[in-house]
C-alpha cells in the first residue's frame, strides 16, 4: 500500500487540454462558451448491516420495513435494500441477491438490475500482519488458522492482499484470488522476525527498575522513557494502518481489513504508572500517563475506515494470556495480577473498538481462532445492504449512524458513522485505486489511446486521447443545442513508485439538436498532453457525467523511451 498523500516524484504535468471534436459536435461560427447546466450529484450512503440472534446465528429473512436507520439521531428513508446473498453453491451458478426500493412499483425491474450488479460485486480483503506488535511464535501459530480461513474465502469475485508492517509498510501479495500465492506469502512471513518479544523484554526491565526504585521520581522517569518509546511506535503503527485504509478508499464493492497483531495499547505504558501508584501511594502519578494517550488517534482511524467503507476484523494473536514472568516473580507490587489484567485490557481495547465501530468482529482470548474466523467469514455472505440519500452530501463533517431492527432478540452490527466526501474526493480516490491496484469498472466503455510522444527539454510530451460513446452521456436541451458536462480525473505512477496528485478538468460538450440522431452510436474524443520522464508509466483516468451521474475508469501503460 503506497502513501498517496505525498508523491515521491512529481513527474506528471498537465500542459493543455485540446478538444478533439467530431465534425458534428460544433458547426462553424457556433460560440464555444461553456454551457450552463444543473449538476446532479446524488450522494448515497451505503451500509452493510449484520443481524444475528443472541447465539450469533445470522438472521436472513428480514424485510426493508424491519429496519430503521438514523443519522445524527434523525430518521432517514431507505432508498435501496438488499437481503443477504446466499453462500456460494459448489459447481453451480451462485444465487444472486435482490435489490428493492421500498414502496417502488417497479420492483421487478430493480431486482433484475440488482442481480446484474451483484453478479459482479467485488469483495476485497487485506490481511495485515503487524510484525512490530506481535511475537513470532504467536504469529506463526495463528497462521495455521489463517490458511484454512483464506483458502475457503478465495472465490472469483473475492480478492485477497497480504501486507506486513515492521516499522515500514510492505505489500507482500497484491490482490489475488489464487490461494497458492497467498499461502506462499504467509510462508515467507513465517521466516521473518517479529518484534513483540523485544517489547515485552523492555517492559519487564522497566517494571524491575520500578520495583527497585527508592523514589517515585526515578520510577516515573523510567516509566516515561518506556512509554515515550512505545507511544512513538504506536503512532507509527496507526499511521501505517491509516495509509492502508486510505489506499482502499476508491475500491468498488465490499472492503475488509483483517488486522493480526499482539495488541496495540490505547495508552502506552499506562500499567507502569499504576505500578508506581501502587508502590508509592501517589494518586497523581496516573496523570503522567495521559500524555501518552492514543485513544483519539484510534477513534480517528475508525472514522477514516467508516468513511472509506472499510470494515475491521481484528485478531489478537497472543491468544489466552497468562501472567508474565515478571508478574509471577514480583514481590514488591502486591497487585501483580491486577496489573497484568490492566495491561491486557489496554492492548485489546483498540482491537475491540476498531471492530465495533466499523461493524466488524474482534477475535481475542483464544489460542485457536479457526472457528471465530469462520464466523467472520459468514459476514461476507450474510449482510443486508441498505442505502439512503443524505441531505448534506460532501459537507466534510462526521455523521453518526444508528440502525435498529424491529424484531426482538436480535443483535445488529454496522459502521457507526461516516465523513461526508465531495464528488471530487470520491472520484480522486477511485482514480487512485485504479492506478494502484488495477481494480476499476468501465460501464461507459471509455477508450484511451496514446499519440506520438515528443521530447521537450529533459522530459517528454505524451498526448493522450479519451473517447466516450455519445449514447452513454446525458445531454440537456438548451435552445438549438444539446449540452452535456463531464469531468475528467487523471493521475500517473512510474516504475519507481513515484505518483502524481490526481488532477481534474471540466469537459463541456455541445451538439446541435438537429444532429443528435446523426451522433447516435458515435464517440467523441478529447486530448490532453502530459509531461513525463523517461521510463514505464501507468496512467489512470476517471470520468464523471455531471448530468447523468455515471462514472467510468480506465488505466493504460505508457512506455516513454529515452532518446
Q: What is the DSSP string of 152-176?
A: HH-BTTEEEEEEEESSSEEEEEEEE
Position 183 scores a pLDDT of 87
Residues in the chain, how many? 563
Q: Are 266 and 352 in contact (CB under 8 A)?
A: no
Q: Are 223 and 210 in contact (CB under 8 A)?
A: yes
Ranges of each domain in the chain: 13-41+423-560, 45-119+382-419, 123-362
CA distance 166 to 237: 9
Q: Are 161 and 176 in contact (CB under 8 A)?
A: yes
Class of residue 18 by CB neighbours under 10 A (exposed 0-12, middle 13-18, buried 19+): exposed
Per DSSP, the three-state class of 338 is: helix
* Alpha-helical segments (H) within 24-123: 107-119
Question: 124 — phi, psi (to 5°)?
Answer: -125, 135
CA distance 261 to 492: 34
CA distance 137 to 525: 58
Q: Can you say whether the dihedral through the CA atoms of 278, 281, 282, 283 is positive or negative?
A: positive
How distant is the alpha carbon of residue 181 from its chain centre? Answer: 22
Q: Are 83 and 60 in contact (CB under 8 A)?
A: yes
Position 114 scores a pLDDT of 43
CB within 8 A of 313, min separation 6: which ones?
256, 257, 258, 259, 355, 360, 361, 362, 363, 376
CB within 8 A of 442, min separation 6: which ones?
552, 553, 554
CA distance 67 to 51: 11
Position 534 scores a pLDDT of 87
- Grid cell at residue 399: 455523521
Tens place of pLDDT for every residue, the chain, 563 residues?
544 333 333 344 444 443 333 333 332 333 334 333 344 455 789 999 999 999 889 999 999 999 999 999 999 999 999 998 755 444 333 333 333 344 444 444 444 444 444 445 788 999 999 999 999 999 999 998 998 888 776 666 789 999 999 989 999 999 998 888 988 999 999 998 899 999 999 999 999 999 999 999 999 999 999 999 999 999 999 999 999 999 999 998 899 999 999 999 999 999 999 999 989 988 789 899 999 999 999 999 999 999 999 999 999 999 998 765 455 445 444 467 788 889 999 999 999 999 999 999 999 999 999 999 988 888 887 899 999 999 887 888 999 999 999 999 999 999 999 998 888 999 999 999 998 888 888 999 999 888 889 887 778 888 888 899 999 999 999 889 999 999 999 899 888 878 888 999 888 888 999 898 888 999 988 888 888 888 899 999 999 999 988 999 999 888 888 76
Query: Closest Cα to residue 550, out of 466, 472, 446, 438?
Result: 472
CATH of domain 13-41+423-560: 2.60.40.10
Say if 13-41+423-560 and 123-362 have the same CATH topology: no
Q: What is the Cβ-side half-sphere exposure of residue 280, based on CA atoms within 13 angstroms?
A: 22
- Grid cell at residue 524: 467523441
Q: Are 550 and 542 in contact (CB under 8 A)?
A: no
Q: Is domain 123-362 classified as CATH 3.10.660? A: no
Q: Are 59 and 83 in contact (CB under 8 A)?
A: no
CA distance 369 to 322: 17
CA distance 350 to 214: 34
Per DSSP, the three-state class of 345 is: helix
CA distance 291 to 283: 16
How distant is the alpha carbon of residue 555 from its chain centre? Answer: 20
CA distance 85 to 381: 5
- Grid cell at residue 494: 512510474
What does the buried/exposed string (b/e) look like for 133-171 if buried means 16 or more CB atoms within 10 Å of the residue's CB?
Answer: bbbbebbbbbbebbeebbeebbeebbbbbbbbbbeebeb
CA distance 67 to 44: 17
Amino acid at each position: 500500500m503506497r502513501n498517496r498523500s505525498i508523491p515521491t516524484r512529481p513527474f506528471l504535468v498537465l500542459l493543455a487540454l485540446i478538444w478533439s471534436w467530431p465534425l458534428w459536435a460544433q458547426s462553424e461560427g457556433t460560440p464555444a462558451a461553456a454551457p450552463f447546466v444543473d449538476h446532479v450529484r446524488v450522494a448515497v450512503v451505503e451500509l452493510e448491516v449484520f443481524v444475528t440472534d443472541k447465539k450469533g446465528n445470522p438472521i436472513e429473512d428480514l424485510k426493508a420495513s424491519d429496519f430503521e436507520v438514523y443519522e445524527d439521531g434523525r430518521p432517514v428513508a431507505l432508498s435501496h435494500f438488499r437481503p443477504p446473498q446466499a453462500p456460494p453453491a459448489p459447481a453451480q451458478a451462485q444465487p444472486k441477491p435482490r435489490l428493492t426500493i421500498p414502496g417502488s412499483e417497479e420492483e421487478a425491474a430493480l431486482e433484475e438490475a440488482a442481480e446484474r450488479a451483484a453478479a459482479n460485486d467485488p469483495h476485497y480483503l487485506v490481511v495485515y500482519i503487524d510484525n512490530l506488535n506481535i511475537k513470532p511464535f504467536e504469529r506463526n501459530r495463528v497462521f495455521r488458522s489463517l490458511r484454512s480461513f483464506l483458502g475457503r474465502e478465495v472465490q472469483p469475485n473475492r480478492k485477497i492482499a497480504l501486507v506486513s508492517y515492521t516499522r515500514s509498510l510492505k505489500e507482500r501479495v497484491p490482490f489475488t484470488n489464487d490461494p497458492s500465492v497467498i499461502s506462499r506469502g504467509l510462508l515467507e512471513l513465517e521466516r521473518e522476525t517479529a518484534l513483540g518479544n523485544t517489547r515485552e523484554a523492555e517492559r519487564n526491565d522497566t517494571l524491575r527498575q520500578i520495583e527497585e526504585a527508592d523514589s517515585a521520581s526515578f520510577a516515573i522517569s523510567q516509566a516515561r522513557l518506556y512509554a515515550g518509546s512505545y507511544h512513538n511506535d504506536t503512532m507509527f503503527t496507526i499511521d501505517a494502518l491509516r495509509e492502508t485504509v486510505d489506499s482502499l478508499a476508491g475500491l468498488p464493492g465490499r472492503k475488509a481489513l483483517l488486522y493480526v497483531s499482539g495488541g496495540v495499547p490505547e495508552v502506552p505504558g499506562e500499567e507502569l504508572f499504576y505500578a508506581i501508584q501502587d508502590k508509592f501511594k501517589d494518586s497523581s502519578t496516573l496523570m503522567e500517563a495521559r500524555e501518552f494517550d492514543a485513544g483519539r488517534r484510534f477513534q480517528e482511524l475508525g472514522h477514516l475506515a467508516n468513511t472509506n467503507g472499510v470494515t475491521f476484523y481484528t485478531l489478537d494473536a497472543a491468544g489466552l494470556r497468562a501472567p508474565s514472568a515478571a508478574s509471577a516473580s514480583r514481590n514488591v507490587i502486591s497487585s501483580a495480577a491486577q496489573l497484568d489484567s490492566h495491561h491486557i485490557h489496554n492492548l485489546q481495547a483498540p482491537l475491540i473498538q476498531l471492530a465495533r465501530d466499523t461493524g466488524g468482529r474482534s477475535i481475542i482470548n483464544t489460542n485457536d481462532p479457526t472457528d471465530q474466523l469462520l464466523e467472520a467469514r459468514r459476514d461476507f455472505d450474510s449482510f443486508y445492504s441498505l442505502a439512503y440519500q443524505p441531505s448534506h452530501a460532501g459537507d466534510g463533517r462526521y455523521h453518526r449512524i444508528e440502525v435498529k431492527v424491529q424484531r426482538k432478540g436480535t443483535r445488529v452490527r454496522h459502521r457507526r458513522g461516516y465523513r461526508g466526501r465531495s464528488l471530487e474526493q470520491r472520484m480522486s480516490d477511485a482514480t487512485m485505486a485504479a492506478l494502484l491496484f488495477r481494480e476499476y469498472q468501465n460501464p461507459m466503455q471509455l477508450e484511451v489511446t496514446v499519440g506520438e510522444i515528443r521530447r521537450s527539454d529533459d522530459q517528454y510530451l505524451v498526448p493522450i486521447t479519451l473517447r466516450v460513446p455519445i449514447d452513454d452521456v446525458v445531454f440537456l436541451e438548451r435552445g438549438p443545442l444539446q449540452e452535456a458536462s463531464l469531468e475528467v480525473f487523471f493521475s500517473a505512477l512510474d516504475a519507481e513508485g513515484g505518483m502524481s496528485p490526481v488532477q481534474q478538468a471540466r469537459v463541456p460538450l455541445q451538439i446541435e439538436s438537429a444532429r443528435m440522431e446523426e451522433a447516435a452510436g458515435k464517440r467523441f474524443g478529447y486530448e490532453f498532453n502530459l509531461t513525463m520522464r523517461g521510463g514505464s508509466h501507468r496512467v489512470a483516468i476517471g470520468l464523471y457525467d455531471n448530468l447523468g451521474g455515471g462514472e467510468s475508469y480506465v488505466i493504460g501503460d505508457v512506455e516513454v523511451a529515452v532518446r
